[in-house]
């Protein structure tokens, strides 16, 4: 049973804790057996049976649960650096999409890429995420938008989940936008989602969740209600891209459908906040998207005050958030969302785990939880998020094994 000792601060991030309490233990030790944590506490209290076990000296550093990026669009063809330049010059995300760029241009590039090309590209990104201390990644489809190409993206995730040490949690986002070939026949596209794709994806276990983007230029609330109700009837969990660029009733729909999470929420209404608090839906904040689009940040203080758990994720994608740097998102969440370091750490661990229905096994460093953790080269959580460096993660333990 290996042991880590001389930990300056260990964040246990207990499931169900108030968001501002990351369960920090000073002068800590932790022991695990195979892939499960067995003991966590103050170093002087380490039980005798662990004292002669192989032990690693953490030299007064920080230990945290393996990070969970609970909202990404990991698999896509091409990039959209041209749009970055256009936005700097003053064009908006919506204007670029209307002019033929945006999500539909990534759909063209993703359709043109082979499964092998997409898998190699996503695997390289997963390698880099792991170096940052990320051990679980939710990943959405939504750049295929037809039967063959949505299945191709989900197949990339299925293969990578077997081949790569990072755990993937796939989400079907066929309702990302209406693909170009269906602009005049939206209902036919929604029929395709409801009658063919959702039943097949659920039957073959290719996704655990179904997501929909409610926005001008994407889907209306009533279209999303139809798609997501169908997904729920096939046993998929529900997520919604809600209120990102305008207040569109997405949060209220998430509450009505008992969604696991509502994501973005930069323009959530007070009624939406109240609805999420009632339904127990997790709010997933995506500060990199706000930063890159120079848009509003989520009203995290209002959500937390109302009792809504707030996760933090990257939204990694080629358009609105072309960075997978979750620690950067964490520092932005502190500064712009006014979340404390403890709130943010819970947001990328146990609350993020709740956003993917896995908070009973990951996201907390407590006995019985999976032995996924990261050793961070900082003396405390506060110092880590304040003194931002390219990568402070020194070592990652995944399923009880050092990477
Ligand atoms: O979460 N808002 C919709 N989807 C993504 C952006 C995807 C893209 O621009 O390619 C998001 O921001
Ligand atoms: Fe997204």
**Tokens 């990302």 found at:** 176
Q: Is 40 in contact with 22 (CB distance < 8 Å)?
A: no
pLDDT digits (tens, 9 = 90+) for 301-324: 999 999 999 999 999 999 999 999
- 297 and 180 inside one domain: yes
pLDDT > 90? residue 1 = no
- 302 and 224 inside one domain: yes
- 15 and 76 inside one domain: no
Q: Provide, rounded to the nearest whole percent, the portion of the chain with pLDDT above 90.
A: 99
- 35 and 122 inside one domain: no
What does the alpha-carbon distance between residue 337 and residue 63 come to, in Å, rounded to a whole number? 24
Q: Provide, rounded to the nearest whole percent, the portion of the chain with pLDDT above 70.
A: 100
Token duo for residue 118: 């997409």
Q: Rounded to the nearest 10 degrees, how much is the dihedral formed by the CA atoms of 231, 354, 119, 148? A: 0
- Which residue lies with its CA nearest to atom 12 of ligand 1? 320
pLDDT digits (tens, 9 = 90+) for 120-165: 999 999 999 999 999 999 999 999 999 999 999 999 999 999 999 9
pLDDT digits (tens, 9 = 90+) for 158-204: 999 999 999 999 999 999 999 999 999 999 999 999 999 999 999 99
What does the alpha-carbon distance between residue 403 and residue 401 come to, in Å, rounded to a whole number? 6
206 in a domain, yes or no?
A: yes
- 189 and 208 inside one domain: yes
Which of 251, 254, 354 lies closest to 302, judged by CA? 251
Query: What atom of ligand 1 comes closest to residue 318's alpha carbon?
Result: 10
- 39 and 83 inside one domain: no
The per-residue pLDDT of the chain, averaged, comes to: 98
- 236 and 371 inside one domain: no
For 61, the domain range is 3-65+364-402
What does the alpha-carbon distance between residue 137 and residue 130 come to, in Å, rounded to a whole number? 10
Query: What atom of ligand 1 comes closest to residue 102's alpha carbon?
Result: 9
- 194 and 53 inside one domain: no
CATH code for the domain in which residue 145 is found: 3.20.20.140
**Ligand 1: centre distance to CA 249 (Å):** 18
- Which residue lies with its CA nearest to atom 1 of ligand 1? 315
Q: What's the number of CA atoms in the CB half-sphere (13 Å) around residue 276? A: 32
pLDDT of residue 53: 87
């Amino acid at each position: 049973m290996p042991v880590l000792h001389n930990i300056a601060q260990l964040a246990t991030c207990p499931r169900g804790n108030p968001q501002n309490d990351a369960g920090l233990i000073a002068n800590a030790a932790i022991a695990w057996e195979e892939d499960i944590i067995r003991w966590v506490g103050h170093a002087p209290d380490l039980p005798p049976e662990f004292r002669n076990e192989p032990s690693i000296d953490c030299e007064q550093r920080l230990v945290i649960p393996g990070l969970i990026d609970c909202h990404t669009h990991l698999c896509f063809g091409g990039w959209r650096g041209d749009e970055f330049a256009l936005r700097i010059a003053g064009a908006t995300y919506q204007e670029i999409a209307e002019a033929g760029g945006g999500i539909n241009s990534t759909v063209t590039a993703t359709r043109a890429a082979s499964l092998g090309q997409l898998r190699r590209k996503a695997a390289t990104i997963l390698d880099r995420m792991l170096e940052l201390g990320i051990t679980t990644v939710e990943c959405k489809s939504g750049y295929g938008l037809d039967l063959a190409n949505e299945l191709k993206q989900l197949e990339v995730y299925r293969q990578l989940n077997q081949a790569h040490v990072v755990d993937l949690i796939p989400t079907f986002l066929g309702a990302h936008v209406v693909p170009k070939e269906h602009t005049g026949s939206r209902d036919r596209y929604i029929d395709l989602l409801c009658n063919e794709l959702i039943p097949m994806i659920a039957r073959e276990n290719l996704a655990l969740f179904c997501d929909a983007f409610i926005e001008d230029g994407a889907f209306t609330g009533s279209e999303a209600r139809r798609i997501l109700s169908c997904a729920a009837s096939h046993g998929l969990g529900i997520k919604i891209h809600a209120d990102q660029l305008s207040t569109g009733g997405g949060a209220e729909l998430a509450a009505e459908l008992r969604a696991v999470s509502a994501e973005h929420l930069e323009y959530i209404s007070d009624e939406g906040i109240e609805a999420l608090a009632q339904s127990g839906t997790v709010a997933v904040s995506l500060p990199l998207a706000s930063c890159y689009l120079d848009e509003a940040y989520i009203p995290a203080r209002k959500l937390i005050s109302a009792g809504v758990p707030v996760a933090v994720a990257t939204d990694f994608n080629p358009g609105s958030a072309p960075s997978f740097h979750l620690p950067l998102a964490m520092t932005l969440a502190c500064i712009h969302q006014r979340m404390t370091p403890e709130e943010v750490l819970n947001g990328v661990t146990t609350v993020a785990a709740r956003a993917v229905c896995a908070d009973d096994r990951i996201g907390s460093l407590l006995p019985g939880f999976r032995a996924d953790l990261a050793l961070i080269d900082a003396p405390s959580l506060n110092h880590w998020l304040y003194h931002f460096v390219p990568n402070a993660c020194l070592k990652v333990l995944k399923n009880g094994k050092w990477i």
